[in-house]
Amino acid sequence: MTSTILTTAQAHSNNILRSDGDRAAEPNIFLAGGKDIPEDQRIHEVEPLTDRVKLNVENRYEHFEATSEVREVDGRSLRVYGWIYRTYVAE
């Protein structure tokens, strides 16, 4: 099973560029569920798509797993990743 760590800097915004700096990021996933996750951190670009992703939020990771759902957001079809659990960063 593959997993990708997301940071808040990867959250969708029209001015975020891909890592190659070539073009604007094209969001392709929506993070559903979980508590205390700002709405502006629920849309991301993940290439290639993986089975699981974890979002770094303050002192914790929110873990999400790919579902078969697709959600329309701003005219884009985004694959939905559902929340499964939370872990905390060790100090």
Quick: pLDDT tens for 57-69. 888 999 999 999 9
Q: What digits encode the pLDDT tens for the residues 1-46?
A: 667 777 665 555 443 444 455 556 688 999 999 988 888 889 998 8
Polymer length of the chain: 91
pTM of the model: 0.78
DSSP 28: -
